[in-house]
Amino acid sequence: MSPTFVGLEIGETIVHGIPQAAVRDRDVAALQLSDVTTDLPDDVLGILQTRLRGVLASDARQIVEDPNTRSPVPTLTRELLIGATGDFVATSQKLAVALQASQTGRSPAGVLLVARATYDCTPVVLMVKLEREDGMRIEFVFDNGRKKFDVTYLSNLLFTGKGTVYKIGILFLDPGDTAALVGWAADKQEPGKKVSKFFREKFLGCHYLEEPKELTRRFQDQGYAWINEKVEDPEKKARYSIGLLAELQSQQKAISLRNFAFTHLEPSDRDSFENYMRNQGLPSATFEKSTELISTRLKKVRLALESGVIVIAPSNAADGGVMSISHMAQDLVRITITDRLVKTSPDGTSGRPPKGTISEEGHDDG
Amino acid sequence: MMTLEEAQARFDQDWERYKNVAEDTATIIRQAAAERHLTCIVEPRAKAVSSFVKKAITKQYLDPWAEITDKAGVRVIVPHSGRLDDARDLVLESFEVIQKEDSREDEELGNRLEYPRLHMQVYAPSSSVEDGPDRLDCEVQIRSEAADLWARMSHTLLYKPITQAPRPIKRSLYRLLAIVELFDEEVARAVEAIEKSPEYEPDVLLAEAERIYYTFAWSNYSRDLSRLICPILAGVIGSNIADFTARLPEFSDTHQAHLRKVYRQYGASSEFASHGKYILAGQPESIVIFELFECQRHALRQAWEEADLPDSLLDDLADVWGVDA
């Protein structure tokens, strides 16, 4: 995935009103459908583009068309992408109908902005669900020759700030397989940086290109690969390994390369980590965390030393003060374990079950 | 050993090859200089056959073919004497050197007015000798711009004059050498002092950014803001300012379509500028920031926060460039 969305350029645009409605009340007549496109002045277009680029940069997840979808959106999108034949207004109206049909009863009222756009010269279709907001305007005025500020309440505002609620879908024909649609989806509303299921699956007719559980596993694998390849200081190696484990075990519902680097790594290592991970195909944007595939790996941390000594410790051992790691001269590290000895066994394989069975300690999802 | 007649005939026959040797040698020097950020003029030439013959006669060479070593020659002219060693090292590392002559440390030069020689005889690059069995060589002369000025004058009026100048005139011309030497050393000293100043690297960065910026934008910018921000950016880049400024044009070429649109839509001439929005998009240092967004986002953000600059300046530019910075 490109690390920048500066290539997103918005062209022909239209906006339709989407009412809030219970599932049983989905009346197409309630939609506020535009009959003509919306002219966007340069400043509006400029703001719109930067707001969308910013959200996509921080939250966009790659999506791919679900071949079994019942959503009409992929077909409508193709009409807009391929179609000189496609009637932009009529097709966008059908997209609004599709959004209304896919929304849950809890979905608030808003507008659907549909645009033909380009991403680095590739034609794309942009669909943004926005909620109307309110706000205030302040103006410095002269009133009977005296200066003052006037404050006015405004409703029906869009993009009032960073916290604005909206969902974005971008779809285009896969350059490697023009029969398939691919793209990005972002959802500023959902906690944990998910893209709400109704928007992603029911409306866009897509699923994630890479599921959160796969991404989370790759985050762990590549994170350890970076530590082992790029970090020379043994004390830092151990500290970062524990940080990686802590990140995956935390109650946070999302993973962000940037936040991980900021929280667990020293400043001089942050860019190296993020660049490495991006080069390995991990998304720059925040993604939903799912430890389903690595749950057994998260219970213990393993430190392998040059002498052949292997320390396997519960992942919270460092936090609880049982184990501490400090950097000695040259490349040496001192691992101190302060605890009560409860059992010894002849060698490191003690307690390992016969081949073919799985123990809590030995199992690795590899 | 060849007679002059034989040598003339052979040089006449091989002249094109020597011309190619000189040009190929110059190409290698230019490439190596660009990689090292060494500013210099590189002039290749094959000696004219008539000059070859004249030199052989004037110098009374017994074996003119062997004794005339500048049949192919390249002159490397650096801005001042402080860069001579850089050019010498470049040649030493880029070629197989047959002979080196560096008279700068000669004791005899202490009491004589003479410009020191820095010449190297190198084997020709392999690409130049594919069409011949023997290994051709090339003379590389390295000098400063001031020395070059002196050398060209002395070549015409003193070394190979049409008419011999009277002794007082000769003396007055030689006296100029002292001024040339003084000029050269003062320039080298000034450059060294300037390069050590804390403003130098930020100013180099701004100069390169400005040069690129004006290929996309046409509005003036706030130099005060640039002077505030460029030292911070230079701090993020660290000791690699020269490498960074060298790769900035490539970054600009790669993203020229984006840059053109960004500066048009959000730059100093846009509607936003009058509202104080996207201020950095109207500044030349924005191109440096765009480059840093690619691989040094954390370092940039940290330096920005440490400098206590408003986050909104950087956030706006990150949104324009579509990155999470």
Which of B87, B80, B112, B79 has its CA nearest to residue B33? Answer: B87
**What distances in angstroms separate CA A338 from CA A35, A319, A325, one per listed residue?**
74, 13, 12
Q: What is the ipTM of this complex?
A: 0.77
CA distance A230 to A236: 11
Region A244-267: what's the mean pLDDT? 90
Q: Which amino acid is at B138?
A: C
Q: Of B262, B270, B302, which is closest to A267 when you measure between CB atoms? A: B302
CA distance B154 to B140: 19
Model confidence at A356: pLDDT above 60: no
Model confidence at B9: pLDDT above 70: yes
CB B25 within 8 A of CB B42: no
Is A18 strand, coil or helix?
strand
CB A311 within 8 A of CB A335: yes
Our CA-based measurement puts residue B97 at a distance from the nearest CA of chain A, in whole angstroms, of 39
Are A57 and B318 within 8 A, CB to CB?
yes
Are B323 and A284 within 8 A, CB to CB?
yes
Q: Within 13 Å, how many C-alpha atoms sit on residue B194's CB side?
A: 9
Are A270 and B262 within 8 A, CB to CB?
no
Reported confidence tier of residue B127, pLDDT bands at 50, 70, 90: low
Which of B5, B95, B92 has its CA nearest to residue B56? Answer: B5
pLDDT value, residue A366: 33
Are B320 and A6 within 8 A, CB to CB?
yes
How many residues are given for chain B?
Answer: 325
User: How much is the CA Rg of chain B, to the nearest whole Å?
Assistant: 26
Which of B64, B59, B75, B63 has its CA nearest to residue B22? Answer: B75
Model confidence at A165: pLDDT above 80: no
Highest mean pLDDT among A74-88, A316-330, B97-111, B211-225: B211-225
pLDDT value, residue B303: 96
Region A147-161: what's the mean pLDDT? 83
Are B298 and A51 within 8 A, CB to CB?
no
Our CA-based measurement puts residue A300 at a distance from the nearest CA of chain B, in whole angstroms, of 30
Q: Within 13 Å, how many C-alpha atoms sit on residue B157's CB side?
A: 16
Is B74 strand, coil or helix?
strand
Burial-class residue A140 by CB neighbours within 10 Å (0-12, 13-18, 19+). exposed
Is A119 strand, coil or helix?
strand
B74-95 per-position pLDDT tens digit: 999 999 999 999 999 999 999 9
A91 versus A331: which is more confidently predicted? Answer: A91
pLDDT value, residue B88: 96
- Residues of chain B positioned with their CB less than 8 A from the CB of A275: 295
Which of A250, A142, A144 has its CA nearest to residue A192? Answer: A250
One-character DSSP codes across A273-306? HHHHHHHTT--SS-EE---TTTGGGGSEEEEE-T
Our CA-based measurement puts residue B203 at a distance from the nearest CA of chain A, in whole angstroms, of 25
A6-27 per-position pLDDT tens digit: 999 999 999 999 887 655 556 7
Are B324 and A46 within 8 A, CB to CB?
no
pLDDT value, residue A342: 80
Highest mean pLDDT among A242-256, A318-332, B116-130: A242-256
Cα three-residue angle A125-A127-A130, rounded to 5 degrees:
160
Reported confidence tier of residue B131, pLDDT bands at 50, 70, 90: low
Instruction: Specify the residue for token string 């779809």.
Output: A171
Are B318 and A7 within 8 A, CB to CB?
no
Question: Could you say which residues from 266 to 325 on chain B have a Cβ atom under 8 Å away from some Cβ of chain A?
Answer: 266, 270-272, 278, 293-299, 302, 315-316, 318-324
Our CA-based measurement puts residue B300 at a distance from the nearest CA of chain A, in whole angstroms, of 10
Q: What is the pTM of this model?
A: 0.75
Which of B19, B13, B7 has its CA nearest to residue B61? Answer: B7
Closest chain B CA to residue A59: B324
- Residues of chain A positioned with their CB less than 8 A from the CB of B237: none
B275 versus A222: which is more confidently predicted? Answer: A222
Region A43-61: what's the mean pLDDT? 90
Residue B304 structure tokens: 């920005």
Share of chain A above pLDDT 70, in %: 86
Reported confidence tier of residue A357, pLDDT bands at 50, 70, 90: very low
Crossing angle of helices A212-230 and A234-249, in 10° steps, is 170
CA distance B198 to B202: 8
Reported confidence tier of residue A190, pLDDT bands at 50, 70, 90: low
pLDDT value, residue A23: 53
Residues of A with CB under 8 A from a CB of B: 3-9, 42-43, 45-46, 49-51, 53-54, 56-58, 258, 261-262, 267, 270-271, 274-275, 284-285
Highest mean pLDDT among A164-173, B51-60, B173-182, B299-308: B299-308
Q: Within 13 Å, how many C-alpha atoms sit on residue A357's CB side?
A: 7
Burial-class residue A198 by CB neighbours within 10 Å (0-12, 13-18, 19+). middle
pLDDT value, residue B133: 61
Q: What is the mean pLDDT of chain A?
A: 83
Q: Which amino acid is at A144?
A: N
CB A183 within 8 A of CB A169: yes
CB B268 within 8 A of CB B217: yes
CA distance A177 to B221: 46
Q: Of A7, A270, A275, which is closest to B258 when you measure between CB atoms? A: A7
Are B265 and A42 within 8 A, CB to CB?
yes
Are B320 and A9 within 8 A, CB to CB?
no
pLDDT value, residue A306: 82
Per-position b or e across B100-115, b if 16+ CB within 10 A of its CB: eeeeeeeeeeeeeeeb
